[in-house]
Amino acid sequence: MTLLATVFDLDETLVDSAATWQQVIGAVAARHDYRWTSTDWTAIRGTSTANWSAYLAERCHGLTPERAASECVDGMVDAIARGTFGLLPGAAELVALAAELGPVGLVSASPRRYVRAAASASGLRRHVEAIVTGDDVTNGKPAPDPYLLAARKLGLDPVNVLAIEDSASGIRSAHAAGMTVLAIPNATTARNADVLKLAACTASDARVAAKEICQLWVNVYALSR
């Protein structure tokens, strides 16, 4: 087994978007007479667009999942244009390092329009050779489909790809696809020991992940000799 490429989750792995997503979804819910809470956020965090848009629509009178997703993406794209959030510390350097080692992909559960806007505004797009979004697969994370599609787009076997993820659903997805997983766990994932066991290693942030990615490449290469 040899690592030949790296694929990244976007939200909370590379971009500091969680608070903005929560604010935007809360504003959409409020416009439709529903009070969005931290419990709601926990219920949808890290899930596919189909999942969270249906969840929101069920709680908002007269709102369809399609319209819920569209209104939220409108809000997020506007937030990107206003510079409301950006890359997490060390994320730019981590992606640049990965690009030196091999092809880079993005695998996000979020809608395509948002993912492309965030990748372009953050400067990540120039390093990325393949993008998979929540609009590209029927079965999103934690199913393996998004990561399997990313491997196909890169022309590689999943066992030759390193996935970097923060969420439980993302870690499960990449692991089920047969990829090596480096976890940068969010606060919820960090408490889930069963999920973290699926990762080859963990890092507290992107800066530490940069050190881990180099070590993974060395270790996997050594084992393949």
**pLDDT > 70? residue 224:** no
Angle 171-39-44 (CA atoms, 0-180°, nearest 5)? 40
pLDDT in tens, 143-173: 999 999 999 999 999 999 999 999 999 999 9
Summary mean pLDDT of the chain: 93
- Both 76 and 111 in one domain: the answer is no
Mean pLDDT of all residues in 75-102: 96
- CATH no. for residue 101? 3.40.50.1000
pTM score, two decimals? Answer: 0.92
pLDDT in tens, 180-202: 999 999 988 999 999 999 999 99
Angle 78-83-89 (CA atoms, 0-180°, nearest 5)? 130
* pLDDT for the residue numbered 214: 83
Residue 200 near residue 215, CB atoms below 8 Å:
no
Single residue among 81, 103, 121 that ends a domain in this structure: 81
* pLDDT for the residue numbered 218: 67
pLDDT tier for residue 47 given thresholds of 50, 70 and 90: confident
The tally of domains found in the chain comes to 2
* pLDDT for the residue numbered 223: 47
- Both 107 and 77 in one domain: the answer is no
pLDDT tier for residue 136 given thresholds of 50, 70 and 90: very high
- Both 34 and 109 in one domain: the answer is no
**pLDDT > 70? residue 219:** no
- Both 68 and 114 in one domain: the answer is no
- Both 105 and 199 in one domain: the answer is yes
Residue reference for tokens 């079965």: 139
- Full domain range(s) for residue 27: 18-81
* pLDDT for the residue numbered 225: 46
> Which residue did the predictor score with more confidence, 223 or 206?
206
**pLDDT > 60? residue 57:** yes
pLDDT > 70 in the chain, percent: 96
